[in-house]
Structures are given as C-alpha cells and as structure tokens.
Amino acid sequence: MRSLTPIRSLSRRIKSTGCLSRRYSTPAGNGIKPYYITTPIFYPNAAPHIGHLHSLVVADIYARYAKLANADRPVHFVNGTDEHGLKIQNAAKGKGMDPLEFCDELSVHFRKLIEKANVGVTRFTRTTEKQHCDAVSHLWKELDARNLIYKGRHEGWYSVSDETFYPATQVAKQEKDGEEYYISTTSGSRVEWQEEENYKFKLSAFQSSLVAHYTANPDVVQPPQFHADVMNALQEPLDDLSISRKRSRLSWGIPVPNDPEHTIYVWIDALTTYLSSAGYPWSATGDKGYSAGWPPDIQVIGKDILRFHAIYFPAMLQALDLPLAKRLLTHSHWTVDRAKMSKSVGNVADPIQAIDELGADLVRYYLARVGGRFKEDVDWSREQLIKHSKEIISLLGNLYLRATSARIMSRLSSVPRPSVADITDTGTAMLGPFLAILKRLPSRVEQHMQLFQVADAIEVALEALQEANLLMTVAQPWHKSTSPTVAADVQALIFETLRQCGILLQPIMPEKTTVLLDALGVPTAQRTLADAAFGRPGVGDVRPGVRLFNMQNL
C-alpha cells in the first residue's frame, strides 16, 4: 500500500480560509484511463466506527479486483476527511481549539484505520487542503458563469448534525420527557426551522436530464432497489439547492467567491472532493480528467447519502458538461444489537479494537461475507465475527494443514505430482461434480463481482473449499488403504482448490492469501484473475505445516 503523507509535513496554513497547502500529483495513465474508485469522505467529528471501515473495505475489494484483472491499469483510490462545517466549528470552539488543529488531530484516526485495515488508498484528501479549496472556488465560478447560481431566500428544516435541509415530508414531531422537537425521519437527527438569504444552485433545471440519464442507464445505481429510490425521488419536483450559509453563522469553510459574507455550503465543498482528487480543474490536460481517471468507475456510498451522490452531484457535473460516475455502489448500514450506532447509547463498534484482536483479514472477511450484499442493514456482533472467522479458518487454513500433513507428505514423497487436467480417479464418486465446481469457479466469482454481489462471490469460493474438505475426508489420502497414486491425485486437487481460492480471495484477505500462495509456491506473476482458471500452472515447492491464522483470540 502506498504510504500516506504524514500529517505534520504540511508546509503552509491559511487559516483565514480554513485551507492548508499540500502538493499532489495525479496518476499518469500512459494513455490508459486509471481505474478510479472513491468512498465517502468521512466527517471527523468522532472516532471511526465499523461503518467507515465497511465503506473502505468494499472499495478496496473492487480496487484490488481491478488490479488483478489488469495489472497494467493504474488504480486511483480516493478517501479523506470532510473538515468544514458547523459541527467542526462548534466542536473545536467547545475544546478551545483552532478548527484546523482540531481537524489535524481527528483525521489521523482515519488514516490509522486505513493503514491497519490494509486498505490501498492512493490519495487521502482533506477538504482543508488549498488545492481542494481552489477547486471548489473554481467550480463555483464555473456554475456562476453559466447563470446557474442566484441569491434567494431559503427556509426549511435544518439538521446541524447532518449539515442539510430536509423537506417537510421527511420531518416528524417527537416528544420526550415533556419536550417537543422535530427530527429527520431519514437520519433520526434533530432539525430546526431556519430562514436566511443564501445562494442557490438551479437544481430544478436538471430534473429532466437526470431522469433521462437514469432511465437510459438503469444499472448505474446498485443494488437495483436504490435505483428505484432515485427514480422515485425524481418523480417529485426538485427544489433549487441551497449552497451557501451566512458567514456570520458559519465561518469555518470556503468563502463564496466575490462575496465574503457567505460560506460555501459543506455539501458542495465535500462533493467536489471527487473532482479535486483527480486534479480538477483540468485546464492543463484539456481531456476532462480522463488521464487522471475521470469519471469514477465506482463510487462507494452509504444509503443515507444517496440523494447527494445520485442527484445533487450529477446535476453539478451535467452543469459543467462532465461525465457522470459509471456506478454508484450503495450499501446499507451496520447496526449493533439491531439498533443504530450512537455515541450517546454507547453501542459504537470500534474497528481498530476488532483489528487489534483478530487481525485485519478476518475483520475484512466478516464485513464482506455478511455486509457484501448491500441491500439490507446488517448487525455487527463479536459473536458473529468469531463465528465467521472460525468458518474461514476451518475451510481454508485447516484444509492447507490437512493437505500438507506429515502422514500425507511422507507417503507421497516419491510420487510425482500429477497435472490436475489429467486426473481421472480419486477413488470416490465426487470427482466429476468437484471438477465441475473448480472449472466454473472463476467465472462464477467474476459474475457475482460484476453484479456487486460480493458476499455471493465469497460463497462460491466457500463452496469449493467445502467440497475440497469433504473430498479429503472421503478419499482419506493419508490412509494406507488409499493407493499412493490416488492419494497424489487427491492432494493435487486440494492444492488446485487452494491455489484458485487463494487468487480469487486476494481482494478480500490480501495478507492471508499472500501467505497461502507463498506456501504453495505460486510465483507472484501468476496470481492474476486469468491465472485463477482451472489447470493453470502455479503450484511449486509446497511448504508443509504453514499456519495461515493465529487462533489465540478465538
């Protein structure tokens, strides 16, 4: 993983605008459009929770999968922190800190999570960076030059914690301990009625073009249920979008160009991260960001921010005549004991603690195995984490130990290892069905990955591992009643299963699969998706007795 720029290497601070100076270069594609994938940029007002890690792991799985599919294509993987806004301003004030110094402290936690989880982010962007602030100002001026920004009066239900206005249809009255208040039915956050003059973006002008886009491209938003949500939202008239706040109320942000009395709204600021991280504005190249990866191949988002990424941001891109993201992979949320995670409730799942206890790969596996269908909320529990960790340890780690046991290795020390393509007998009735599973394994995994069914792709690999374990049990290659020739055939098929699954599970568990493939003697150059095909060369000098997993905490 490329190391992230140290926080303290910042060369210059510009506190009047809340921006800091740092130099970045965009990836050189050598004529090939880089594979560009993004996660949400995280609001650093609290420590990372398991939902943050889920977004990171999902994006990392697809980034690694793209690299396995085409090693020559650069991968540009963006994450970062969204550091402007009223929440940060108030939180920093409460601690008696400068907002930028407050953000410096908090963003470190997210960078630490990225590194501990072995997530291959290539660009960690902070919205307080001068390059980003300049990009936001440029975007504003471009929209303004197209007569798409005007000043008007705005009123509505505003949530400070969500940094957004909600329509009356998404607001409900609540009562607790004799107090009446209003909440967003979408997020559960409190809202209050606000009225003020600010700048607006002519979102309503893009309703028809957005409907046309999603009608012509129904597979953009995944899973399909979220495409339906977007289309339903577009059936209602789109109000123009409030994109600034009075600077007297919100000073921690990027000033509106030519109007220092207003601050650019945090969501315009935050969404521009995807552009600025790809080098926007692209006046130097003139290729609308193609050489830097634009448009994104996948944007991984949570369902709570679907509207911003499927309606607001695409409208901005259409306004700028820029291509829209190819896919919006929308995932549901993680709960704890079936309840939304909350600091006040004290049920926030700590990803760092889980990784420290069990290691990054087992946590990544659990997140992908359980949360890799994306359609419904899923529940986090240590018990389930342990259960699924034991599952992969048994099916993968123990299978390797069984196949390389001293009894088997000594029996077969003088028996040539057969080519799996030539195996015709395992002494069982399992050979035909098992070979069919192995031959279809890569294509089935690829099909599920293309359909954004990560959990199903994993289950295909698990099916092969289960059958391999069963073959070991039935064929008994260690037993003297099994001929050495048949035992060698069985072992070769087990090694082939481990080789194929080791390659295909690399995006899920990059560390443990590396250990596995090294132990099998598979050359580094023979670990691509093409190499996962049945019967491809790869298995070399096998090292017996290699333990893939540490069982100490299980």
Mean pLDDT of 301-324: 97
**CATH 3.40.50.620 spans which residues of the chain?**
7-146+224-235+255-331
CA distances from 72 to 68, 125, 414, 450 (A): 9, 25, 41, 20
The predicted pLDDT at position 11 comes to 33
Q: Hey, is 11 helix, strand or coil?
A: coil
Side chain identity at 131, as an amino acid letter? Answer: Q
| Residue-by-residue DSSP string for 453-487 | -HHHHHHHHHHHHHHHHHHHHHH-TTSTTS-HHHH
Whether 526 contacts 536, CB under 8 Å:
yes
525 or 185: which carries more pLDDT confidence? 525
The predicted pLDDT at position 515 comes to 98
The predicted pLDDT at position 220 comes to 98
Dig out the tokens for 400 from the structure.
Answer: 């390797």
**Torsion over CA of 144, 146, 148 and 152, rounded to 10 degrees?**
50
- Which among 175-179, 319-323, 333-337, 478-482 has the top mean pLDDT? 319-323
How many of the other CB atoms lie within 10 Å of CB of 209? 13
pLDDT beyond 90 at 24 = no
511 or 339: which carries more pLDDT confidence? 511
The predicted pLDDT at position 337 comes to 81
pLDDT beyond 50 at 401 = yes
Nearest to 56 by CA among 127, 105, 124: 124
Dig out the tokens for 254 from the structure.
Answer: 């990027």
Mean pLDDT of 476-494: 93
Whether 384 contacts 460, CB under 8 Å:
no
How many of the other CB atoms lie within 10 Å of CB of 5? 15
The predicted pLDDT at position 20 comes to 63
**CATH 1.10.730.10 spans which residues of the chain?**
379-532
Nearest to 17 by CA among 128, 163, 138, 144: 128
CATH superfamily of the domain spanning 379-532: Isoleucyl-tRNA Synthetase; Domain 1 (1.10.730.10)
Instruction: Please tell me the distance from the alpha carbon of residue 85 to that of residue 267, in angstroms, as a whole number.
Output: 9
The predicted pLDDT at position 6 comes to 35
The predicted pLDDT at position 16 comes to 44
pLDDT beyond 70 at 14 = no
Whether 184 contacts 166, CB under 8 Å:
yes
51 or 554: which carries more pLDDT confidence? 51
Residue carrying structure tokens 């529940």: 379
pLDDT beyond 80 at 554 = no
What percentage of residues in the chain have a pLDDT greater than 90?
77
Instruction: Please tell me the distance from the alpha carbon of residue 509 to that of residue 532, in angstroms, as a whole number.
Output: 16
Whether 329 contacts 299, CB under 8 Å:
yes
The predicted pLDDT at position 15 comes to 46
Q: Are strands 334-336 and 378-380 parallel, antiparallel or unpaired?
A: parallel
What percentage of residues in the chain have a pLDDT greater than 70?
93
Nearest to 185 by CA among 162, 209, 211: 162
pLDDT per position as a tens digit, 214-268: 999 999 999 999 999 999 999 999 999 999 999 998 999 999 999 999 999 987 9
The predicted pLDDT at position 430 comes to 83
The upper half-sphere exposure of residue 313, i.e. CA atoms within 13 Å in the direction of its Cβ, equals 26
pLDDT per position as a tens digit, 124-176: 999 999 999 999 999 999 999 999 999 998 788 988 777 778 888 889 999 88
If pLDDT is split at 50, 70 and 90, which confidence band does 506 have? very high
Mean pLDDT of 84-95: 91
7-146+224-235+255-331 CATH choice from 3.30.70.20, 3.40.50.300, 3.40.50.620, 3.40.50.2300: 3.40.50.620
pLDDT beyond 60 at 5 = no
CA distances from 422 to 396, 468, 478, 493 (A): 25, 18, 21, 11
- Which among 264-273, 286-295, 491-500 has the top mean pLDDT? 491-500
If pLDDT is split at 50, 70 and 90, which confidence band does 431 have? confident
Instruction: Please tell me the distance from the alpha carbon of residue 146 to that of residue 512, in angstroms, as a whole number.
Output: 53
Nearest to 18 by CA among 89, 123, 110, 114: 89
Side chain identity at 348, as an amino acid letter? Answer: V
pLDDT per position as a tens digit, 451-471: 999 999 999 999 999 999 999
Burial pattern 127-153, b for ≥16 Cβ within 10 A else e, equals bbbbbbbbbbbbbbebbbeeebbeeee
Region of residue 346 (left: phi > 0; alpha: psi -120 to 50; beta: else)? left
Instruction: Please tell me the distance from the alpha carbon of residue 117 to that of residue 515, in angstroms, as a whole number.
Output: 17
Dig out the tokens for 474 from the structure.
Answer: 């039935």
pLDDT beyond 80 at 283 = no
The predicted pLDDT at position 271 comes to 98
Whether 278 contacts 292, CB under 8 Å:
yes
Nearest to 212 by CA among 141, 103, 318: 318
